[in-house]
Structure 1
Amino acid sequence: MPEGTRTSWSYFLIRLLFKFVLKIFYGTIVVENADYVPKTGEPCIVCANHSNSLTDALLLVTAIPRWRRNMLRLTAKSTQFGRKTFTSWLIESAGTVPIKRRKDFGDQVVDNTMVMGHLMDALELGDAVCLFPEGASRFHPSIAPLKTGVARLVSDVLSRNRDNPNFEMSILNCSITYMHRQHWRSDVLVTFHPPMKFTPKNNPEMLTPVDYSAIRMLTARMHQQISSGTLDSPSWDLVRTSKLAARMYAPLGTRMSLGDFVRVTRTFLDAFKLTIMTANGDANGSATNSGSEGEKTEMWVEIEELRKLRQDLKAYQDTLSRWGVKDDRIRRPLSRFSIFRRIFIRLGWTLFLSFISIAGFILWSPIVITTYVAVRNFKRTGPIWDTWDEIAQYKLVYGLISGVCVYFFSMLATLPVAPITAVVVPVIMWMTLRWMEDAVSAFRAVAALARLLLVRNRTLAEIAALRKDLFERVMKLAKRLGLPEDPETYFLESGGREKGRVRGRWESRAKYFSIRRRRKRDWNETLRLYDQVDYPEE
């Protein structure tokens, strides 16, 4: 059995470095089904959706356990190589293989024969190779049609080893879901799927000369598996509406894992997508093109109900956004006295946390300013769909460089006690980050409560009545979709202890002061002064 390429020191260093940086940038990184990753020595192609540029590759490198694979051989567009930049050095040092893309060469014919040869050699050595079958990263809610390169690579490797009928390789599909990919302290879900295994003996249809229909069929299977684990939507509007339906079904404080939240949102999203497939009264669409006339009529009525629910949910979210309040404030209305009391408590908490964070914020300021200026200038270079997928990458790189500079400057400025500074500065910066997250969260609550005071009681009553009707319709839909009837109890019993309401005073205090991470109640939360529920215009 092959042993795989040994881990280089540069790869080990890069993996360690960016595991640290990713944990700083993202609030929680949840990895599901890591046991599905084939062990070192088993040829494997790791494939994932590609929506966040270099950050996607870094996430996969850090998500794959070292006890399963010693390294993941990356690929990147050839234009990233040979440049005098930190990113270019980083890519080359990790043993990344350059791939030429037609779009980078004026749509001219490009030759990747040598590159494919290197990848086949690596697979035969027992390595794991990372490929993004969409072909390019893009800021879009849907997964692009997958290119057939991965399936053709499988065919080529199996054909080269046809004399060894038991030679086995696999495709490990992975779904990456960012709550808000470009925002600081948002959350990420990485879900590995059961690997697709191939051998010359069991898959003769993949041996040359291969029927191209087999290539297309394998590519379609990959697309279905990757899509099933993330929010694959034709529009941002559907993502926004589906998240609202998921929050109404499992309200703020429900103790559920990020994976459960994504799957619930995906369930509503799949239902709402039917209303897009049959838009403009297309009764001959795939959703209504089978069965008797009675079944067609019943299905059409259900789709019309779905469309009306989707439109009403959108209107409700628009209303919440216009007034600047969250659904939870409508679900559990407060008296004026309670609002004033909570504003007073949270405002005091905000000021206290901001005060104790002053020293640490001085250390964070150069990093925040550097990344802000870099990202602001980068956004001006192109449209949203072509630049926003690289925002997280820019923040990670510029944040890392400026953070290292702050760290070493702090030691130089305190040279007599530099060994102490080397330990104290990271601790102060980490605790400051924790305190600022709490301060920002408390400020968001103050702002939301203050906005509630501006809304007339009559208007609140009308919004509450609208929500009551929508909630009943959402729960009716959830039951029809096979979701649990009592989500708060079900997800708590199924192990959802990562977010949500804390039971008991002792557990509350222990979780609140946890050194590992701040206890957030909402998977949608980011380190911003306002609630992030809206997306860029289509």
Structure 2
Amino acid sequence: MYILIRYAALSGKRTATLFPDTPVAVACSLLFKFVLNVFYGTIVVENEHYIPKNGEPVIVCSNHVNSLTDALLLVTSVSSKKRNFLRLTAKDSQFGRKTFSSWLIENAGTLPIQRRKEHGDQADNSTTMDKLLTALSEGDAICLFPEGMSRFHPTMAPLKTGVARIVSDVLTRNRDNPEFAVTLLTCSLTYVHRWSFRSDVLVSFNPPLKLTVKDTPSLISTPDKPVDFEAIKSLTTFMHAQLSSNTIDSPSWDLVRVAKTAARIYVPLGTRMRLGDWVRVVARFVEGLAKPVEGTGAGTGGEGVAIERQGMKRTAYQDQLNALGLKDDRIRQSITLSRIKILWRLFLRICQTCLFLAIAAPGLFLWVPVFATTTYKSEQLKRSGPVWDTHDEVAQTKLVYGLASGIFVWLTAIILTTPIFGLGLFFTIWFVPAWMWLTLRWTEDLIAAFRAAVALYRLLWVSKADLKRLRETREDLHGRVMNVATEVLGLPKDPEAEFLVVEGEEGDDQPSRWAKHQRGRTRGGWDSALRYFSIRRRRKRDWNETLRWFDATEFPKE
């Protein structure tokens, strides 16, 4: 799915535009940013310095894994200091429907795209394409998803050549100006859990490719020479390689699950490592476990590596942990924990759970309609079709209906309390959102404390023999993981020294020695001063953590 959303600059600087700004469009863009930051716990944006400034034609391309949410995320990730707005498109079936999402799309400003899937040979996008090409010629930025559709799958779909053809068309349109250039900027999106409330997202911009009229004659058509199709294919291949290199692109969900287990064993730092580094480590394990081993003959060493990789794939270690309700980190640390220490920590977690339950319970009444509505509508959506065709819209459904029900709660509170307080209207407008936010923070801590208490309780009931077997299994698996990581994937031999982020380093923009990427922030200066009551979430223990009573490790069946 595509959507065109206007991103109006707060600074007031604007270039010439085909689409005049409206108060509704500006309000919608700000509303989208708000709702995304409520729904997702941490949104880390890497390499913003790659985004060209206003006035430079830019085509932003991204992998398309989460329907409408991808477009919203890209629009809100591009700073208004860099670009005034970002133009996108939407399939025409999203227009004219009597739904809240359709209303938002239309009022945010969109261009319709007719797809062959719905219109066959009658599809006509000449008007829309002409407007996009004119926007690029005027120095604007557009955003397209070259996969052509959103779907719930662990691997990227083959890219269509449409983006490369637009590059060719805009260069051809400006062929009389040899200095004209258009920048192709790919952006890799990674959702730790796509539809889970308070999960985390990595937005990673890749090095841009600047294409000029004088340097790319193969992409320019003339009356005497058509465009070289091999150049179109080559540019499309380049985009696919960039997009897949900075996200988790796996042939199966099971491989993602194994790779995440391997990554936790390889570098058990949780959120003491940056989200970008975590995603890239998991991606390297997916790549290493999926790729066949060459040179498995005698004396090559390949046979031993192949055995290690197969041993990692076959392990039932994560299944055992799930059955016991434990995490790998508990097993790793259990050797230093006596029963007395476990009981003491369990007592503290129970006290924390009771405390946060007491202070969060009143405000949860405000969240009940939101949680009930989003749960009902998302479950209804999942039942409406197969996993690959419906699950990519779960996050979109939760965002839209969560926003609608949240506004309903807010307005209802204003109506009910205005007659009660002397300054009821003014008081409720600000108090209700603030109270709901604090309740959300307390609920996150409540669930985290409860999860820890349950894990400690279950650890008490694991027999010494079973615990010893789990440690031995982990020790054997750790050896296999380290062998594959260092011998096959070229990862550091001392991962904790390489990826550990020390306190106060969260805002460090220096590239990692291994990843060579700018690291995104998880906590800035204001958060350090007011950690708990900051607008960002408290530091999680694990990037896999969401607002659930259990650890989210499972994925839908293929």
TM-score by length of 1: 0.91
Q: CA deviation at 1:473?
A: 2.2
From 314, 335, 345, the equivalent of 2:348 is 345
Counterpart CA distance in 2 for 1:311 and 1:510 is: 46
Q: Any idea what SS the aligned residue of 1:190 has?
A: strand
What secondary structure sits across from 2:43 in the alignment? strand
For residues 95 and 509 of structure 1, what CA distance do their matches in structure 2 show?
Answer: 39
1:361 counterpart letter in structure 2: L
Shift of 1:300: 4.7
How far apart are 1:492 and its partner, in Å? 3.1
The answer to whether 1:88 aligns with 2:102 is: yes
CA apart distance, 1:511? 3.4
Do the aligned partners of 2:147 and 2:156 also contact (CA within 8 Å) in 1?
A: yes
What is aligned with 1:331? 332
In structure 2, how many angstroms separate the alpha carbons of the residues matched to 1:4 and 1:524?
44
1:316 pairs with 2:323: no
Deviation of the 1:429 alpha carbon: 0.6
Aligned residue for 1:489?
497
**Equivalent residue, structure 2, for 1:535:** 555
Aligned equivalent of 1:174: 187
User: What amino acid is the match of 1:210?
Assistant: V
Shift in CA distance, 270/409, structure 1 to aligned 2, threshold 3 Å: same
Q: Is the 8 A contact 1:254 1:487 kept in 2?
A: no
- Structure 2 equivalent of residue 34 of structure 1: 48
Aligned-partner Cα distance in 2 for 1:212–1:26: 41
Secondary structure, aligned partner of 2:147? coil
Three-state SS of the structure 1 residue aligned to 2:203 is strand
Question: Hey, what does 2:479 align to over in structure 1?
Answer: 472
Task: Give the drift of 1:4.
Answer: 4.4
* 1:55 paired to 2:62: no
Q: Please name the residue that 2:460 is paired with.
A: 453
Residues in 2 aligned to 1:414 and 1:510: alpha-carbon distance in whole angstroms: 31
Equivalent positions of 1:41-440 (< 5 A) are 41-105=55-119, 107-108=120-121, 110-208=123-221, 209-253=226-270, 255-274=272-291, 278=292, 288=294, 298-312=301-315, 315-333=316-334, 334-415=337-418, 416=421, 417-440=424-447
Structure 2's unaligned 5+ residue stretches are: 1-13, 508-518
Contact 2:273-2:501 at 8 Å conserved across structures: no
SS at match of 1:378: helix
Deviation at 1:422, TM superposition (A): 1.4
Once the two structures are TM-superposed, the CA of residue 261 in structure 1 deviates from its matched residue by 0.6
What's the RMSD between the two structures over aligned residues? 2.3
AA in 2 matched with 1:430: W
TM-superposed deviation, 1:163? 0.7
Could you give the per-residue CA deviations for residues 36-73 of structure 1, whole angstroms, max 9, x where no partner exists? Answer: 11112111111100010000000000000001100001
What is the deviation of 1:8?
4.1
246-255 or 66-75, which deviates more: 246-255
Per-residue deviation, 1:377: 1.5
Amino acid at match of 1:121: T
1:109 CA displacement:
5.0
* Deviation of the 1:185 alpha carbon: 0.2
Secondary structure in 2 matching 1:342 = helix
Q: Is the 8 A contact 1:440 1:529 kept in 2?
A: yes
* 8 Å Cα contact 2:271/2:543 also seen in 1: no
Q: Percent same amino acid among aligned pairs?
A: 54
Contact 2:274-2:501 within 8 A present in 1 as well: no
CA distance in 1, matches of 2:86, 2:287: 33
Query: Matches of 1:407 and 1:375 in 2, distance apart?
Result: 22
Q: Does 1:519 align with 2:539?
A: yes
Q: 1:472 to 1:299 in 2, by over 3 A?
A: closer
Secondary structure (helix, strand or coil) at the match of 2:272 reads: coil
Change (3 A) 1:533 1:493: closer
* Unpaired stretches in structure 1, ≥5 consecutive residues: 279-286
Do the aligned partners of 2:305 and 2:483 also contact (CA within 8 Å) in 1? no
Q: Offset of 1:484 from its aligned partner?
A: 2.5
The alpha-carbon distance between structure 1 residues 463 and 368, as it changes in their structure 2 partners (threshold 3 A), is same
For residues 211 and 178 of structure 2, the distance between their equivalents in structure 1, rounded to whole angstroms, comes to 10
- The whole-number CA distance in structure 1 between the counterparts of 2:121 and 2:468 is 62
1:508 Cα shift? 9.7
User: Counterparts of 1:491-510 in structure 2 under 5 Å?
Assistant: 491-492=499-500, 497=506
Partner AA of 2:435 in structure 1: I
The one-letter code matched in structure 1 to 2:117 is: K
- 8 Å CA contact retained: 2:308, 2:484: no
Q: CA deviation at 1:535?
A: 0.8
- Name the one with the larger helix percent: 1
Give the Cα separation in 1 of the matches to 2:498 and 2:464: 35
Query: Is contact 1:255-1:497 (8 Å) kept?
Result: no
Q: Go from structure 1 to structure 2 and tell me whether the alpha carbon gap of 1:458 and 1:214 turns closer, same or farther (over 3 Å shift).
A: same
Q: In the alignment, residue 471 of structure 2 is paired with which amino acid?
A: A
Change (3 A) 1:4 1:525: farther
Shift of 1:15: 1.6
Task: Name the aligned partner's letter for residue 184 of structure 1.
Answer: F
Cα deviation for residue 255 of structure 1 reads 1.5
- Match of 2:380, SS state, is helix
Aligned with 1:511: secondary structure? coil
Q: Which residue of 1 aligns with 2:516?
A: none
Displacement, 1:253? 4.4
- How far the C-alpha of 1:336 sits from its partner, in A, is 2.5
- Paired residues of 1:255 and 1:496 also in contact (CA < 8 A): no
Q: TM-score, normalised by structure 2?
A: 0.88
**Cα deviation per residue 1:67-103 (whole Å; 9 max; x = unaligned)?**
1100001111111011122211211222221112222
TM-superposition CA deviations, 1:174-230 (whole Å, max 9, x none): 000000010000000000011111111000010111111111111000000000110
Between 1:424-433 and 1:174-183, the stretch displaced more is: 424-433
The within-5 A match list for 1:11-30 is 11-30=25-44
- Determine the C-alpha separation between the residues in 1 that align with 2:332 and 2:135: 56
1:105-132 Cα shifts (integer Å, max 9, x gaps): 4x55522222211211111121111110
SS class of match (1:30): strand
